[in-house]
């Protein structure tokens, strides 16, 4: 993973390798500007004296996780044919985990408390008729996905010399997914219909066989209830099966085929009845994100999900949100994609509500009025060097403060409780996100995809 570099005036320069960053720090030519993602600031150079190359931020929006990739575009021209080849060099991979479900649950709980107080405690006329929604309004849980993605695009633009943006415009037709047999003059099916159903099934069933959990193997589409016994082509009746399982099941009903495994049968029934909420989230936010990216004034490239998947399959890359982002748009070759991934989890900046409530909405406890104690606040990244006691050792992670001075530290290896504040040293202030590094699998022997055929 590349190290982000700023000049003496905090203007972005080209990222460098970890080895070069270490040398600059040892020689006193740079200072640590930020720990995660690791950024250094040069003390003897300005952007006017540096050569910059085209750097691009690519995004692959998702319902729960959005993939981001900071890449450098390198063009080479064949001296004989004059053909231009675009090689994408990956500088940094990120996966941004949204907290839309937490926002939705909080608003649902707040609405329940308000209805209870209005109906049981005192009468107050409903106010929903007095409120209007502006043009382009999105639900708070959906707006959060757009805002956090744009926030990280803005951060990467602030830390790297970004010249262009790329995004993937998903298109999941929920009506078509529910009823693939729909037809008529007013609704024309195109080639995208086959891709939509197959890609949706891969995401829904976790890219593995529903009957034996086989992964990294060619998969087929199987009818849970066979068409020969009255089953339909609706997406709720389709699943994924490897070739051996599809042949053994043949035209049996799933209840007969899995009569010996009731637990798996119950799981298949639960998954097939799952709603299309993730597809609806993408449909609701994709154009809002696109418009906000265009409003930045930069060149924005839009690519389809089919092109992205084709690029990823062509280069034998495993399925991952961040690698999807690296494969967005026109790509002839890709390099340096086997690197650690920075996982960024949206945690929020705490709660404005300082009163804990019972399930009926009555107060049961109160939090401190201030969110900081002893110079720390919850979410700060700290390094604790404990010299005495049972907790002796060195810990690095996010801190949860207490007014008593006994803190909890969430590290990569687990939670460490009751660490005194005098052992803690601030590393990075809380910014509403939690960070962790994860590794990605190497090139797979078999394509991570789906055979384009249907079983019985």
Q: At 155, is the pLDDT very low, low, confident or very high (cuts 50, 70, 90)?
A: very high
Mean pLDDT value of segment 398-425:
91
More confidently predicted of 7 and 130: 7
pLDDT for residue 300:
93
Q: Helices (DSSP H) in 166-233: which residue ranges?
A: 174-178, 192-204
pLDDT for residue 206:
85
Q: DSSP strand E in 119-259: where?
A: 162-169, 219-223, 238-242
Question: For the ranges 34-43, 324-333, 364-373, which has the lowest average pLDDT?
Answer: 364-373
Q: Chain-wide mean pLDDT for the chain?
A: 85
Q: At 178, is the pLDDT very low, low, confident or very high (cuts 50, 70, 90)?
A: low
Give phi and psi for 201, each to the nearest 5.
-65, -40
Q: At 356, is the pLDDT very low, low, confident or very high (cuts 50, 70, 90)?
A: confident
The answer to whether 170 touches 282, Cβ cutoff 8 Å, is yes
Domains plus CATH for the chain?
1-52 (no CATH), 174-275 (1.10.30), 371-431 (2.30.30)
Q: Helices (DSSP H) in 304-373: which residue ranges?
A: 305-314, 321-326
Residue 410, classified by CB atoms within 10 Å of its CB into exposed (0-12), middle (13-18) or buried (19+), is middle
Does residue 7 carry a pLDDT above 90? yes
Most confident of 13-27, 227-241, 300-314, 403-417: 13-27
Does residue 232 carry a pLDDT above 70? yes
User: Which tokens in the block code for residue 355?
Assistant: 């009163």
Position of tokens 């990823």? 312
The SS3 assignment for 169 reads strand
pLDDT for residue 272:
85
Q: pTM, whole model, 2 decimals?
A: 0.77
The SS3 assignment for 244 reads helix
How far apart CA 219 and CA 210 sit, in angstroms, is 10
pLDDT in tens, 91-123: 999 999 999 999 999 899 888 877 777 777 767
User: Which tokens in the block code for residue 314?
Assistant: 């062509």
pLDDT for residue 185:
38
The answer to whether 451 touches 218, Cβ cutoff 8 Å, is yes
How far apart CA 427 and CA 440 sit, in angstroms, is 27
Most confident of 147-151, 176-180, 438-442: 147-151
């Amino acid at each position: 993973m590349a190290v982000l570099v700023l000049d003496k005036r905090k203007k972005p320069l080209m990222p460098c390798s970890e080895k070069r960053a270490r040398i600059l720090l040892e020689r006193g030519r740079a200072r640590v500007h930020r720990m995660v993602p690791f950024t250094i600031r040069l003390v003897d150079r300005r952007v006017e004296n540096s050569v910059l190359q085209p750097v691009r931020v690519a995004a692959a929006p998702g319902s729960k996780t959005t993939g981001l990739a900071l890449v450098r575009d390198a063009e080479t021209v064949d001296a004989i044919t004059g053909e231009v080849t675009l090689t994408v060099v990956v500088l940094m991979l990120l996966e941004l985990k949204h907290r839309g479900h937490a926002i939705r649950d909080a608003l649902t709980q707040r609405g329940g408390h308000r209805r209870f107080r209005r109906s049981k405690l005192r009468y107050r006329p409903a106010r929903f008729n007095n409120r209007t929604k502006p043009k382009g309004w999105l639900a708070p849980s959906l707006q959060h996905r757009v805002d956090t993605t744009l926030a990280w695009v803005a951060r990467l633009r602030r830390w790297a010399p970004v010249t262009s943006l790329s995004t993937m415009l998903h298109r999941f037709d929920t009506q078509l997914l529910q009823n693939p047999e729909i037809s008529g003059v007013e609704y024309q099916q195109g080639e995208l219909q086959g891709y939509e159903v197959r890609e949706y099934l891969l995401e829904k069933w976790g890219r593995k066989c529903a009957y034996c959990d086989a992964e990294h193997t060619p998969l087929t589409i199987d009818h849970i209830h066979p068409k020969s016994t009255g089953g339909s082509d609706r997406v709720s009746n389709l699943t994924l099966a490897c070739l051996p399982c599809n042949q053994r099941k043949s035209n049996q009903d799933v209840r007969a085929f899995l009569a010996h495994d009731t637990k798996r049968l119950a799981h298949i029934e639960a998954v097939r009845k799952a709603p299309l909420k993730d597809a609806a989230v993408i449909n609701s936010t994709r154009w809002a994100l696109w418009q906000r990216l265009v409003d930045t004034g930069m060149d924005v490239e839009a690519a389809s999900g089919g092109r992205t998947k084709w690029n990823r399959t062509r280069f034998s890359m495993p399925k991952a949100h961040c690698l999807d982002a690296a494969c967005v748009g026109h790509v002839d070759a890709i390099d340096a994609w086997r690197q650690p991934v920075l996982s960024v989890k949206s945690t929020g900046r705490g709660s404005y509500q300082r009163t804990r409530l019972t399930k009926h909405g009555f107060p049961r406890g109160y939090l401190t009025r201030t969110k900081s104690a002893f110079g720390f606040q919850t979410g700060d990244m700290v390094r604790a060097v404990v010299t005495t006691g049972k907790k002796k050792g060195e810990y690095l992670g996010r801190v949860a403060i207490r007014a008593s001075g006994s803190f909890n530290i969430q590290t990569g290896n687990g939670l460490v409780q009751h660490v005194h504040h005098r052992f803690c040293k601030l590393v990075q202030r809380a910014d509403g996100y939690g960070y962790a590094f994860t590794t990605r699998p190497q090139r797979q022997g078999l394509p991570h995809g789906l055979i384009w055929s249907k079983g019985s």
